[in-house]
Structure 1
Amino acid sequence: MPIFSIFKSTVLLLVLMFSSCKGQEKEIARIAVNAEIDSVPKIEVAANRTELYLPLLKEKKVGIVANQTSVIFKKTGHTHLVDSLLTLKIDIKKVFAPEHGFRGKADAGELVKDGIDTKTGLPITSLYGKNKKPSNEQLKGLDIVVFDIQDVGVRFYTYIATLQLVMEACAESDIPIIVLDRPNPNGHYVDGPTMKKEHTGFLGMTTIPLVYGMTIGEYAQMLNEEKWLENGKQVNLTVLPLKNYTHNSAYNLPIRPSPNLPNDISINIYPSLGLFEGTNVNAGRGTEFQFQRYGASFMDSTQYDFSYVPKPNFGSKYPKEEDKRCFGRDVSESERMQSVSLRWLIDAYKNTPDKSKFFITTSFTKHAGTSELQKQIEKGLPESEIKVTWKQDLEDFKKIRVKYLIY
């Protein structure tokens, strides 16, 4: 019997031996799960695979698109990719920063200014302010661009829009781009409404589903090969892959990908609760449980036994319903999501007496990618019926997606 099978059998035997002990069930289950996780080869992000990309950067003038998640992991802690490459004598000329900034401290939607990185002295060009796409002048003098940002696999999460605009700019300036791949914590399923072309923008630049089930490297390949970049241009693209990753891999993000996604729970629920961003309902911003709860002062308090009061905090200076008692639900104990759920959105709408207070129509359409979802909820359609209307678009997308899967 293989050593791994013997190990698993031993774990299961221990579970059986102790399962009769009162109060031990949860601890035993935790040990069993952790034992199995520990036996799986550790995922290695592309940034750690320096042997693959250092030769591509030697004697080149390099631009880096990065934020606080752009790190190389070590046995104890991590170092930022930019710091590591400078130590390795790579000639980095400029850093490009997405939403939330290079160090990831800006609020959602807050304009990020150009500046100088105090640690390295490198100039930082913001891609979340007046210009979201690098200009030819900003790329001038660079031989190659490296993109390394942790994504969470949700269409309205703006890092994939930044990726697309950087790829377009590199194509126009004839500059090669390297994408260092990272796991998608929501890469185990494809679901949600598909973006309609007439609603595309920075919250969704291509006609893909809300949850698209691809790593950022796979998505880059799809953008390029499907000629979805502006004017159908293609860029000289290199995607450096992950090691020991599959789309079913559970991955714990060691660094917040943005200020309001503090942990794995919020990241997993984000595709569903993120739709509240297009409403007047608070989705946990202004608390320490962002995207793990929802509520509003205008919702029917008699229908809920849970409430909270949003306050300004890290990542949310002006949260919705600030200083108001919000009535709603805590969903932090939900099982790992395998699909987009509309039950919470439908519940909140149903229990809002004054319906005119609920949707922010323009914003909701941009987040949903279609105007139909709001109409369906307003009509009182159940989730099952709404999801049927997504089916054909999802099937069409999956036929395209499969061509670019690496893992």
Structure 2
Amino acid sequence: MCALLLLTSFTGTSKSLFDTTIKPAAAAPANYILLLKGKNVGLIINQTSCVGDSSLLDILLVRGIKVVKIFTPEHGFRGKADAGAHVDNTIDEATHLPVVSLYGSHKKPTPDDLKDIDILVYDLQDVGVRFYTYISTLEYAMEACAEQQKQLVVLDRPNPNGFYIDGPVLKKENRSFVGMQAIPIVYAMTAGEYAKMLVGEHLFPGAATLDLQVVKCLNYDHSKKYELPIAPSPNLRNMAAIYAYPSLCLFEGTKISVGRGTAFPFQQFGSPELADKYPYTFTPQSGEGAKSPTYEGKKCFGVLVGETPGEILKQVNGRLQLKWLIDAYTAYPAKDQFFTDFFKKLTGSDDLKTQIQKGETEATIRKCWQKDLKIFKTTRKKYLLYKDF
């Protein structure tokens, strides 16, 4: 399973960007096997839950751990389902274990799901962006475990966007599965740190009663760059896309394509409506992970932000960039149709759409975030497990 979605590498990509000594918690079984011995274990995993060519499932089974059930998040067990696509329950062909979808008929584990489990282990590679739904799956799992008095163990993984904090802090009236807590779009916490904050700040029902254990990554801190070995979802295929994702995903709440169904999803943006504004073009086509992409078969005019991680990092410059969104809105002919209803949920902000429509500068918009960002940063620091940037 672990070789199915290797990240695309580009010729000329500088390996010096990345610290190759960093390892996920799963790489050190001695740090967690004793927690699981003699217990009925459930796993929240997908194609990223690997160490080298070995999946966490295999690592546990060969050590005699009794795994009784698998749970999977958005995109499914193999990480190939479209964004937002319903994922059905199934049976793992290799082990004959039941695979319960947490992105199908329900997103929170039910009492029946957990009745034969003593410990639930969470091991998903996140990308450190609020609207990437794996942390929502984590929160619902924590809530369910608290209710059913089950222990939850987080095998932590590095945050590839864990070296800066930025963006509007979500307003609670905009809460949804793409944003469940009052955190900024880029929040610079690992899943383990985030889980500790959810418990410590009592951010879900029963938080005080949850038996939470976090197993730390090896050699990681928030100043380091970590290269993901496996794509976390079908349209984040490489580190360039992962670095651009926080900024370019804002287009998912507009009439602009982010390149799903092309060779460079989340590295470019465009629309057929921008034909006289930008010379660069791409044409989305249906394919795995993009069955009906926006503007399928239509030529889109826009911008290729970058092809390599280094190019994207330079463009992003350690912040959530609004320049591409503002430029596209300015160029778009039918401005009253540019934003969709999803934009508010995605950004978590009541104000950003209006500010862009009014023509406010990026600097002015960013000033409005600072009070809430300061409060979040103070809270965040209490739960850090690794040296900060």
Q: Shorter-chain TM-score: what band? A: over 0.9
Work out whether residues 127 and 133 of structure 1, in 8 Å CA contact, stay in contact via their aligned partners in 2: yes
Matched, 1:253 2:228: yes
CA distance in 2, matches of 1:342, 1:234: 40
Give CA deviations for 1:304-363 in whole Å, capped at 9, x if unaligned: 110111111121001111111111101015441310000000011000111133110x20
Partner residue in 1 for 2:273: 298
Q: Which residue pairs with 1:341 in the alignment?
A: 321
Q: Which segments of 5 or more consecutive residues in structure 2 lack a partner in the other structure? A: 1-10
In structure 1, what is the Cα distance between the partners aligned to 2:378 and 2:239?
Answer: 29
Percentage of matched positions with identical amino acids: 48
Counterpart Cα distance in 2 of 1:312 and 1:256: 19
- 3-state SS in 2 of match to 1:168: helix
- Alignment-derived partner of residue 201 in structure 2: 226
Q: Tell me the distance in 1 between the aligned counterparts of 2:368 and 2:290.
A: 35
Alignment of 1:65 onto 2:39: no
Counterpart of 1:86, as a letter, is L
Which of these residues, 51, 57, 64, is aligned with residue 82 of structure 1?
Answer: 57
CA RMSD of aligned residues (A): 1.6
2:138 is the counterpart of 1:163 = yes
Give 1:218-367 correspondences, 5 Å limit.
Answer: 218-230=193-205, 232-299=207-274, 301-333=275-307, 334-336=311-313, 337=316, 338-360=318-340, 362-367=341-346
Deviations along 1:126-150, one digit per CA (max 9) or x if unpaired, are 1001200001111002111100000
Q: Which residue identity is paired with 1:215? A: T
Which structure shows the higher helix fraction?
Answer: 1
- Separation in 1 of the partners of 2:293 and 2:205? 35
Counterpart-to-counterpart distance in 2, 1:41 and 1:316? 31
Counterparts of 1:339 and 1:257 in 2: how far apart (Å)? 22
Separation (CA, whole Å) in 2 of partners of 1:405 and 1:234 = 21
Paired residue total: 370
* 1:298–1:114 CA distance, 2 compared to 1 (3 A): same
Change (3 A) 1:99 1:389: same
The whole-number CA distance in structure 2 between the counterparts of 1:327 and 1:233 is: 51
1:192 aligns with 2:163: no
Deviation at 1:280, TM superposition (A): 1.4
Moved over 3 A (4+): 231-234
SS at match of 2:324: helix
State how far apart, in whole Å, the 1-side matches of 2:57 and 2:191 are: 19
The 8 Å contact of residues 41 and 244 in structure 1, kept in 2 or not, is answered as: no
1:11-26 superposed matches below 5 A: none
Report the 3-state secondary structure (helix = DSSP H, G, I; strand = E; otherwise coil) of the residue aligned with 1:93: strand
Structure 2 partner of 1:379: 358
**1:251-300 CA distances to partner (integer Å, 9 max, x unpaired)?**
1111000001000000000000010111111001010101000000112x
Whole-Å separation in 2 of the counterparts to 1:120 and 1:88: 15
- Do structure 1's residue 55 and structure 2's residue 29 form an aligned pair? no
1:45/1:231 CA distance change after superposition, 3 Å: closer
Cα distance in 2 for partners of 1:309, 1:400 equals 44
- Find the counterpart in structure 1 of residue 153 from structure 2: 178
- Deviation track 1:129-173 (CA, whole Å, cap 9, x = no partner) reads 120000111100211110000000000000000000000000000
* Letter aligned with residue 304 of structure 2: D
Output the CA distance in 1 between the equivalents of 2:239 and 2:57: 26
| Distance across 1 between alignment mates of 2:57 and 2:67 | 8
1-side partners of 2:31 and 2:130: how far apart?
A: 29
Contact kept in structure 1, 2:254 and 2:339, CA below 8 Å: yes
* Structure-1 separation of matches of 2:263 and 2:385: 36
- Checking the alignment, whether the CA contact within 8 Å between 1:187 and 1:215 is kept in structure 2 is yes
Give the Cα–Cα distance (whole angstroms) in 1 for the partners of residues 48 and 90 of structure 2: 19
Distance 2:208 2:71 in 1: 22
Check whether the contact 1:69–1:255 (CA below 8 A) recurs between aligned residues.
yes
- Aligned partner of 1:140 among 115, 138, 149: 115
Residues 374 and 141 of structure 1: CA distance in aligned 2, closer, same or farther (over 3 Å): same
The yes-or-no answer on 1:214 pairing with 2:189 is yes
**Contact 1:188–1:247 (8 Å) recurs in 2:** yes
Q: TM-score, normalising length from structure 1?
A: 0.88
CA distance in 2, matches of 1:328, 1:346: 13
The answer on whether the counterparts of 1:259 and 1:315 sit within 8 Å (CA) in structure 2 is: yes
Alpha-carbon distance in 1 for matches of 2:146, 2:206: 10
User: Structure 1 stretches of 5 or more lacking a match?
Assistant: 1-25
In the aligned structure 2, how far is the partner of 1:399 from the partner of 1:286?
40
> Letter of the aligned partner of 1:94 in structure 2?
K
Q: Give the corresponding residue for 1:106.
A: 81
Amino acid at match of 1:270: Y
- Which protein is bigger by CA-based radius of gyration? 1
| Structure 1 segment 385-400 matched on structure 2, within 5 A | 385-400=364-379
Structure with higher RCO (Cα < 8 A, 6+ apart): 2
